[in-house]
Structure 1
Amino acid sequence: DLALHPRKNIVLTGGDDCLWKTWGFPDGNILLTGEGHTDWLSGCCFRPSGTQLVTSSGDTTVRLWDLSRSGCILTLRGHSRAVLGCCWHSCGDFVASASADGTSKIWDVNSERCRYTLRGHKDSVNSIEFLPCSSTAVTSSADKTLSLWDVRKGLRVYTFQGHMHSCNHATFNRKGDTIASCDSSGLLKLWDMRRLLPILSIDAGPHPANQVAFHRSGDLVALASSEGSVKVLSLAVGQLSVLRGPGVEVRCVRFHSQDSLLSAGADGRVCLWSWAQ
């Protein structure tokens, strides 16, 4: 996984080598390396203040780290299988995790305890993300569904059905009125948050789609493909562009600016892509 620092030109990555690293951008020099997990890292995210970060791992734990010391300051245990994703709430007080054990958890970082365990999916929960400045989270699951949750109560409020294969990732746009999701057949779907209806389906397969990301404008959606490419959908013109690079599986993608994005692949490299609008 990879994440961008909220204020500085720093990129955070987590890899199969059980390490997280921060990199100067765009120079690519390693700033910090974090050791402690005993299995591959699945997710990483900066605290909104930028002073700490959270990681999730196949070792079933979620860990919090202090950037000033690059050391682990808290290990959250409770999942029974690999943790497949994590994120930080915009208020900075809560962390969410998604696990292959079929549950997600909301952790209170101040009390250092699990506030809620979100139950309802019938298979592995592959991702979880908070809607910024709200009490809503979205999960994607191998049971082919997405679910919306009220994290104040720990309750599921809606389930989106329509994918025919395992949902690998789901995310909100900046406005919070649209969700993008992708699945293991390469299908990209957009959903209307207000009307709770599907908007658009794009077949970007047949290779699995591993992660989706909205541009801050909401006009572009990027997709990380196991085909070895990044695919960018322009919602204004309905055109799908394909960015081809090293040819290895692309596992995650994040927009960096108006006409550039970052991706991380199975070869352990982070790539910077740019294109003419």
Structure 2
Amino acid sequence: MTAMPSEGASIPPPVEDFLMNFLMKHNMTQTLECFQTEWHKLGNGRESAAEIESVPDVYTRSEHLERALEDCESMCAKYQQKASAAEAQFEKLRKERNHHRTAHRRILQEKKTMGQELKRLSRQVDDLRKELEELTEKHNAALREKMLAKLQRDKASQRATQLEQTARAVSASQLAPTRTTAIATTAAVANTTAQRPLPSLAKATKRLQSPVLSQSQRMPATLPRPEQLLPPPNLRPMTPGRAKALTVVNTVKASTCAVGAIALHPQGDLLAAVDDAGIMSIWQLPGGQLEQQVAAHPSWLADVRFHPDGTLLLTAGSHPKVDLWSSAGLCVVTSFLEHAHCVWSCDFHHTGDFIASGSMDNTVKVWDITTGKCLHTIRSHTDSVNVVRFQPHSNHILSGGADKIVRVTDGRTGLAVGSMEAHTNAVSDIAFTYAGDVAVSCDLDGTVCAWSMRDRTLLHTAKLGPHPANCIAVDTSGQVVAVGSGDGAIKVLALDTFDLITELQAHDDAVQALVFDHAGGFLVSCGSDGTIRLWS
């Protein structure tokens, strides 16, 4: 009897085993014996075992199929779990997509709304800008009307007090016989100017543009004679040795405020000073006696200059105008009214027929004294113009400002000639040698520069900081340069080498202005301590 195959067998049993097992299971012993006998006989005649047939094992196959089915069911369950997770992830992503799509649509709507609002605001800004321009134009027109009205009032007051001023001029001429001719000339100029009709508002508006000038109104071309370039015959040279020995010989308490500028009369015996209270005063030198004083301005004054013949004075200050004064009676002869902001500096041409002014409105203006018209408006500076000076015996104008550049302009044409750049801060003052061939400038960093006016090249540089250099002066002999500092010191340099010779200490506050005597006899300084000091 053949044994039953094991449950784990994977090979199906032979046919005879299947039949024998079946017969034994049903207790069919006789049939089993007959089958075995016949099968044995039949088996002896077979050539190979390959001819033996086998019966498939249904149970084994069923078991394999059940296991395969279980594996498939477990895999299906896993796939279902993954499919559920993927479906949940897809649903989450779909919700996020819908959320972002909604946010994107909202942002597009906000962008469209903001664009429309921006266009509306731009149109509103354009409208407001036009209104601002109109209001500015109205304001400027009103300001010009106010200035013209003030000028008319001053002229009327001047006519009313003309007799009194003439009497004062006669009295002053008795005190100073050498200036009798100058006083008579000043009275004639004042009379002529007082009788001159005032320009209308339309004409004043037209003067905002430089007029086309006739040949008689133009600044004449000048070629200095050789004797004009020589120093005065009575000059006492300010040598470095003399400069080192300078001491204060006279001190005048000129004001309770800062004295901002001083100017020396061409004859050298009078000194004009202006202060931050708007007071202009005339002092006798070297004694320091007060001769005349006038409230020239309701606010501060920044600069004062004498006419080349000493008959007139020029002042500039916080108002957008330049005043021309009679030096005899200290009365206003005329005013020049085209600047838009305060005027920091002014100067006379060496002929005395023209003046230049520099303002906080970034412009330099050239004026004709005879006609009172603005010949040129120079707009070469990009910031406030702090100082403007005519080159001696020339028509060139040097101006310096907060843009740190010294610019050279032809006063006849109003066109730029060149520029000189070396300063690191705003230019505060400019001065020339007597011949005008060398210019010196200083700035608020304490830097002092010397320039050759032939080719506008830098000759020397001195660093005198950290305090600002407020003012500068060159003696008539052209040997020394005096620099007024913000710490109250006056630093004296040799012009040819720019070596420091000495420091003069006397002022209690910043030095604001310096001027050398034309004959080289002394140096005059003023400062924020309200004093005027004479050095000799």
Provide TM-score, normalisation by structure 2.
0.50
The structural deviation recorded for 1:35 is 2.4
Q: CA deviation at 1:167?
A: 0.8
Gaps of at least 5 residues in structure 2 are 1-260
Q: Mapping of 1:239-258 within 5 angstroms?
A: 239-240=499-500, 241-256=502-517, 257-258=519-520
Q: CA deviation at 1:236?
A: 4.7
**Which of these residues, 319, 342, 366, is aligned with residue 59 of structure 1?**
319
What SS does structure 2 have at the residue aligned with 1:112?
coil
Give the aligned residue type for 2:510: E
Residue 104 (structure 1) aligned to one of 353, 364, 385: 364
1:130 paired with 2:397, answer no
The question of whether the paired residues in 2 share the 8 Å contact of 1:59 and 1:82 is answered with yes
Unaligned runs of 5+ in 1: none
Q: 1:38 offset after TM fit, Å?
A: 2.2
2:532 equivalent in structure 1: 270
Whether contact under 8 Å (1:38, 1:59) holds in the other structure is: no
Distance in 1 separating the partners of 2:331 and 2:376: 26
The Cα offsets for residues 179-224 of structure 1, whole Å up to 9 and x where unpaired, read as 1000001010111111221111101111000111111111111111
Distance 1:238 1:158, change over 3 A: closer
Is residue 403 of structure 2 the alignment partner of residue 143 of structure 1?
yes
Q: Which amino acid aligns with 2:294?
A: G
Q: Within 2, Cα distance between the matches of 1:115 and 1:266?
A: 35
- Aligned-pair Cα RMSD in Å: 1.3
Cα distance per residue 1:230-273 (max 9 Å; x no partner): 11101356431110003310001011253631111002111112
Say if 2:460 and 2:497, in contact at 8 Å, map to a contact too: no
Match of 1:181 among 429, 435, 441: 441
Q: Is the 8 A contact 2:508 2:529 kept in 1?
A: no
Kindly provide the amino acid, as one letter, of the partner of residue 361 in structure 2: D
Give the AA of the match of 2:455.
R
> Within the alignment, does 1:4 sit opposite 2:277 as a pair?
no
Question: Quick one: which amino acid aligns to residue 80 of structure 1?
Answer: A
Q: Aligned partners of 1:52 and 1:89: how far apart in 2?
A: 13
- Aligned equivalent of 1:157: 417
Report the alpha carbon displacement of residue 102 of structure 1 after superposing the two structures with TM: 0.5
Deviations, residues 28-83 of structure 1 (Å, cap 9, x unaligned): 11111132322211110111111111100111211011122211111111111110
Q: 1:165, 1:222 → 2: CA distance?
A: 19
Q: 1:152 to 1:125 in 2, by over 3 A?
A: same
Distance of 1:176 and 1:128 partners within structure 2: 15
Query: 1:119 corresponds to which letter in structure 2?
Result: R
1:69 aligns with 2:353: no
Greater share of residues in strand: 1
Pairs aligned (count): 274
Output the CA distance in 2 between the equivalents of 1:236 and 1:176.
15
